[in-house]
Amino acid sequence: MTTADLFDSDFAAEPTPPTKPAQRAAALREQLHHHGHLYYVLDAPSIPDAEYDKLFKELQTLEAAHPELRTPDSPTQRVGGQVLDGFATVKHVVPMLSIRTETDTDASGAEAFDARIRKELGLTEADPLVDYVAELKFDGLAMSLCYENGVLMQAATRGDGETGEDVTQNIRTIGQIPLRLSSDAPKVLEVRGEVYMARGDFEALNERQRARIAAGEKGEKTFVNPRNAAAGAVRQLDPNIAAQRPLSFFAYSLILPSTTGEGLGTISEKFLDGLIHHGIHTQEQALQQLRVWGFPVCQHTQVVSGSAGLVAFHQKIAQLRDTLPFDIDGVVYKVNYIQQEASLGFVTREPRWAVAHKYPAQEQLTTVQAIEVQVGRTGKLTPVAKLAPVFVGGVTVTNATLHNEDEARRKDVRVGDTVVVRRAGDVIPEVVSVITEKRLHESQIFTMPHTCPVCGSAAVREEDEADYRCTGGLFCSAQRKQAILHYAHRRAVEIEDLGDKLVDQLVDAGVIKTLPDLYRMGFTALVTLERMAEKSTNNVLASIEKSKHTTLPRFLFGLGIRHVGEATAKELVRHFGKMDAIMDATLDQLLQVADVGPIVAQSVRTFFDQPHNREVVEQLRACGVTWLEGEPVAGASLPLAGQTFVLTGTLPTLSRDQAKDMLEALGAKVAGSVSKKTHCVVAGAEAGSKLDKAQELGIQVLDEAGLLALVTSHASPAEDAEA
């Protein structure tokens, strides 16, 4: 049926009541079902929200005037209903079983599962690979949805697997769950899947909850994680409240009653015979059928072959995990062929044909032992929660950033609090939320200090800025330490043996006050420091000496000018060629540089307008720091300017940094992830999902030899020109 058909079925032509309201109600329901599916499931609405609301109101009014017209599948039934005393229990026709979990979070988990399946199926090495459907393991709660004559009649939680709770009223409020299926659906069917809360919806909900708590509303609390919030919403006795909790749904299995008669005792028979009878022979087909009936099925679901296919999927999803809008705690593998599923059957309470393969947990509970304020290189004050050590996202975490004053306030983290800590991918750990129920009575709201905790200078927060900054500049030892470490960084002038402990000692002892002091300090000053011996002192002095021969981009980056990162430093050098030209460039001239906007230009100008900064540059030069100066290169004339490259895997001879430097020298950007905007991927051994993605998107892929050929082809004409 097309949208036009839906809108054509208007009731105006009908002559006599009561058929008139009945038909109009039916037509409205039809239209609202159709637009609801476009909106909630396909995310592609075809009419404005206001239009939908108008149709909705009309149906509500009609049903209020004619209560007999209100059907259980009416979209108006999504909005809640009477408060319940408790939930009725429901006996599951087919038990809702759990699933075996592979304990190894590495590839061996998938290999072990495939090996077991092959053995159980009696397959030898000569037999073909087993096909699987690989799915995400959604971190929500399992739900059974029973449809009769195409209408959602009952939604039940898993409970103990045999009996669950009837949560139909609440589940009806989930827009993604169809209340009615197309007319070709079998008379009786059951769909199982996961009710979950998307991360964005969860954060917005907690935001609203915090506002309620702040407004003094009783009995309100924030939720620990999306799973918890979803479970709370599903088991909410007041469906009106449930309706305000934004839930989502993914369908992952279909159960059709067997039509071959009585006496079908085993779970396998109950589970699977009905599907085969309806011409569904694979899990893939079952999911496809669910999609056709209007259920949301996750787009990352994939048919794969053999253990290699499972391993690749596990790795691919591991990479994607942090970019998904919802939480998963692993993936699930299911044998694709229903016949094979049937012969594998069940062991006690678990199917043999499916397994969950987990990822390390990204969130854990711990306690806040203190809140410290750290001072960064540019004077930025960052509140940091010091935590009782906790293993999360694969590492032990003891610090979590609270970002800035507003964030710390918003989350209201206090010393002594029990908090949820999240570490996803390589992102720095953060405090997600506070378990307010566990808060100690004597806890106090955290406030940002108005003086620098290190040097005592005033700390100010400028208008439109989120951060407080220490105004002490290089008077502040914290900023001095950070400035020195930044100058000595591997990607700046690189002073190998200068670690943060040594810098702490040198600054605290007053040996180093400004960068040039690095080159002035002698053997005695160093060797007399604690933990320093003759050999280590000589090593440090040798690496300081070595750093004198550097390049201008490294030196400029090393100065630590706010907003001047590596890439900007390179652009500036490319554009102006010489240090003096950069120091004397006007705002307008700076704005000519590729990628330099008003904020960066102003920052460069402000830096070099300060006599003491110019003095530092002069003194460093006087100490013997040198670099080769070049000629200015106008505009973005470098051969790879505007192109983005991604490096993945291990190259046979070049290090990542070397490959990156080569590409950047030709004007290319080197990014961390592959997207449609990537021009080329350079892949080495054990390249993983980035290579897959490049191939999927049809992006050019080079190996090391290809990269070197590209670099030489571009490098030689320039050298000729110089000669």
Catalog residues that contact ligand IVH under the rule CB under 6 A: 97-99, 135, 137-138, 142, 194, 252-253, 332, 351, 354
Identify the DSSP state of 39. I
CA distance 372 to 472: 19
Chain-centre distance for alpha carbon 203: 13
Q: Which is nearer to ligand IVH, 329 or 417 (CB)?
A: 329
Structural tokens at position 645: 């490259």
Q: Which is nearer to ligand IVH, 77 or 289 (CB)?
A: 289
Residue type, 348: T
Shortest distance, CB of residue 427 to ligand IVH, whole angstroms?
24
ω before 18 within 30° of 0 (cis)? Answer: yes
Q: Which is nearer to ligand IVH, 252 or 337 (CB)?
A: 252
Shortest distance, CB of residue 354 to ligand IVH, whole angstroms?
5
- Residue 92: which residues within 8 A CB-CB, separation 6 or more? 144, 156, 159, 161, 162, 163, 164
Identify the DSSP state of 225. S
- 428-463 burial, b for 16+ CB within 10 Å, e for fewer? ebbbbbbbbeeeeeeeeebebeebbebbebebebee
| Residue that the structure tokens 């806890």 belong to | 443
Among 357, 295, 292, 294, which residue's Cα sits nearest to residue 135?
357
Q: Which is nearer to ligand IVH, 286 or 385 (CB)?
A: 286
CA distances from 157 to 154, 160, 181 (A): 10, 9, 21
Shortest distance, CB of residue 608 to ligand IVH, whole angstroms?
57
CA distance 576 to 424: 40
Shortest distance, CB of residue 233 to ligand IVH, whole angstroms?
16
Q: Which is nearer to ligand IVH, 171 or 332 (CB)?
A: 332
- 506-522 burial, b for 16+ CB within 10 Å, e for fewer? bbeeebbebbbbbbeee
Shortest distance, CB of residue 222 to ligand IVH, whole angstroms?
24
Shortest distance, CB of residue 273 to ligand IVH, whole angstroms?
16
Catalytic positions, written as ranges:
137
- 202-239 burial, b for 16+ CB within 10 Å, e for fewer? beebbeebbeebeeeeeeeebbbbbbebbbbbbebeeb
223 with 196: CB under 8 angstroms?
Answer: no
Shortest distance, CB of residue 133 to ligand IVH, whole angstroms?
9
Among 232, 225, 248, 228, which residue's Cα sits nearest to residue 173?
248
Residue type, 235: R
Shortest distance, CB of residue 18 to ligand IVH, whole angstroms?
44
Identify the DSSP state of 261. -
CA distance 170 to 80: 7
Shortest distance, CB of residue 312 to ligand IVH, whole angstroms?
18
Among all residues, whose Cβ is closest to ligand IVH?
Answer: 142
Q: What's the full length of the chain, in residues?
A: 723
Identify the DSSP state of 377. T
What phi and psi, each to the nearest 5 degrees, are found at residue 383? -75, 130
Residue type, 142: A
Structural tokens at position 517: 């002091």
